[in-house]
């Protein structure tokens, strides 16, 4: 089969890779309907995260089940399925508490590489959620978004306790930040402040429910959020970048007693203890337990109540994956969809 392999920073190729096969009795093999490039794929692409040699890429996916292992009981061939970037058993104590990304048997899908024609999904019963019918083609991007960026933005908004009566600020205008705006809106937030200096992204933020746009960053951005919230700061702040500046911007934009939901994969970040102590905020985040939200998100997508697929502004055949990486790296594209 064809699949994306990163050989070095900036060096992404589509190559022949061995077809995946059932390795564990709990595995499924899916034919990938669509995959995509994640903001987190840009860390190794930019050389910020080390690569351990040539690496199959991709951890977001939707597809049609081809084959299941002998212990798979709820998922069956022919179903259209969505899964998270963490495979999880969905039965352990951590999963049952809603933290499937911390499942005691979790498998990171990045080790599988879903930017390919086929993919092996570990722990299929726990990981995959099937639709009742194969959905129409125009819904594929939205289901694909649910696999990571929507689920992650949703988790961030839930972690930030976005809800009725709340003012929510969103730091980061990538796909996750934009879908954090969508999530805050769906969760009933009263006011949603998107922090973005890119006009097309501001427009999408407004479409998703942003009521205010703040273009300033760092201390100026914090001051603007304070201005907009009677000097107090936002009740809820979504952090969807993962840098020192964005984390501190999020923490200091939050009122005392408020909530920060952080989902940007942190790199070279060290939170100063005394500033965190003085901020008196709630901080919750990490790898999103997307599986917790998948059934509800997929239902909303099927009902066309939300359209998270709007974040894909570049749609390429798998063989042109390198172009998709480059466009995202240069911020010409928010998110690239790849069709095998």
C-alpha–C-alpha distance, residues 215 and 339, integer Å: 34
Phi, psi for 282 (deg, rounded to 5) = -95, 135
Distant-in-sequence, close-in-space partners of 81: CB < 8 Å, separation ≥ 6: 28, 30, 62, 63, 64, 65, 75, 121, 128, 129, 130, 131
Rule CB under 8 A: is residue 267 a binding residue for its own copies? Answer: yes
| Residue 251 or 314 having the CB closest to its own copies | 251
Q: How far is the CB of 104 from its own copies (least distance, A)?
A: 7
Rule CB under 8 A: is residue 270 a binding residue for its own copies? Answer: yes
Rule CB under 8 A: is residue 99 a binding residue for its own copies? Answer: yes
Identify the residue among 167, 266, 298, 321 touching its own copies (CB under 8 A).
266
Q: How far is the CB of 185 from its own copies (least distance, A)?
A: 23
Q: How far is the CB of 270 from its own copies (least distance, A)?
A: 4
Identify the residue among 2, 31, 198, 284 touching its own copies (CB under 8 A).
284
Instruction: Name the segment binding its own copies (CB under 8 A); options: 19-27, 63-71, 95-103, 194-202.
Output: 95-103
Q: How far is the CB of 272 from its own copies (least distance, A)?
A: 6
| Residue 202, CA distances (Å) to 146, 182, 223, 290, 333 in order | 21, 13, 20, 25, 14
Rule CB under 8 A: is residue 48 a binding residue for its own copies? Answer: no
Rule CB under 8 A: is residue 281 a binding residue for its own copies? Answer: yes
Q: Which residues share a beta bridge with 86?
A: 108
Structure tokens at 270: 């060290």
| Residue 18 or 230 having the CB closest to its own copies | 230
Rule CB under 8 A: is residue 126 a binding residue for its own copies? Answer: no
Instruction: Name the segment binding its own copies (CB under 8 A); options: 12-20, 118-126, 208-216, 267-275.
Output: 267-275
- For β-strands 86-87 and 28-36, DSSP reports them as unpaired
C-alpha–C-alpha distance, residues 50 and 65, integer Å: 33
Q: How far is the CB of 176 from its own copies (least distance, A)?
A: 14
Identify the residue among 13, 43, 51, 102 touching its own copies (CB under 8 A).
102
Give the helix ranges, DSSP H, for 80-212.
Answer: 93-96, 124-127, 140-147, 149-159, 175-186, 199-208
- For β-strands 55-56 and 2-8, DSSP reports them as antiparallel
Instruction: Name the segment binding its own copies (CB under 8 A); options: 10-18, 53-61, 242-250, 298-306.
Output: 242-250
Q: How far is the CB of 200 from its own copies (least distance, A)?
A: 29
User: Terminus-to-terminus CA distance in the chain, angstroms?
Assistant: 10
Identify the residue among 42, 51, 94, 130 touching its own copies (CB under 8 A).
94
| Residue 115 or 167 having the CB closest to its own copies | 167
H or E stretch including 227? helix 218-228
How many CB atoms within 10 Å of residue 96? Answer: 11
Q: Which residues bind its own copies (CB under 8 A)?
A: 93-94, 97-99, 101-102, 104, 230-232, 242, 244, 247, 255-257, 262, 265-274, 276-287, 289
């Amino acid at each position: 089969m064809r699949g994306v392999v990163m050989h070095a920073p900036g060096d992404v190729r589509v190559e022949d890779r061995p077809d995946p096969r059932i390795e564990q009795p709990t595995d499924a093999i899916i034919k990938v309907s669509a995959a995509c490039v994640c903001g987190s794929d840009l860390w190794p692409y930019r050389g910020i995260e080390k690569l351990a040699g040539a690496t199959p890429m991709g951890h977001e996916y939707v597809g049609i089940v081809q084959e299941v292992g002998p212990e798979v009981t709820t998922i069956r061939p022919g179903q259209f399925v969505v899964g998270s970037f963490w495979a999880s058993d969905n039965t352990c104590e951590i999963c049952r508490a809603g933290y499937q990304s911390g499942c005691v048997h979790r498998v990171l899908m990045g080790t599988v590489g879903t930017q390919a024609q086929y993919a092996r999904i570990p722990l299929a019963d726990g990981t995959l959620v099937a639709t009742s019918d194969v959905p129409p083609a125009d819904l594929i991007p939205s289901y694909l978004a649910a696999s990571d960026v929507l689920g992650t933005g949703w988790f961030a908004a839930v972690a930030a306790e976005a809800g009725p009566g709340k003012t929510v600020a969103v730091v980061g205008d990538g796909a996750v930040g934009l879908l954090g705006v969508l999530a805050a809106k769906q969760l009933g937030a009263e006011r949603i402040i998107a922090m973005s200096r890119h006009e097309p992204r501001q427009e999408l933020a407004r479409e998703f429910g942003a009521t205010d746009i703040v273009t300033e960053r760092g201390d100026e951005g914090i001051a603007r959020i304070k201005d907009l919230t009677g000097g107090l700061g936002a009740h809820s702040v979504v952090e969807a970048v993962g840098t020192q500046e964005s984390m501190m911007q999020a923490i200091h934009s939050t009122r005392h007693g408020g909530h920060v939901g952080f989902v940007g994969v942190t790199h070279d970040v060290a939170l100063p203890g005394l500033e965190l102590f003085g901020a008196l905020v709630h901080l919750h985040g990490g790898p999103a337990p997307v599986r917790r939200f998948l059934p509800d998100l997929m239902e909303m997508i099927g009902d066309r109540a939300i359209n998270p697929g709007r974040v894909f502004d570049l749609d390429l055949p798998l063989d042109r994956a390198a172009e998709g990486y480059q466009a995202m790296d240069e911020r010409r594209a928010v998110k690239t969809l790849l069709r095998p």
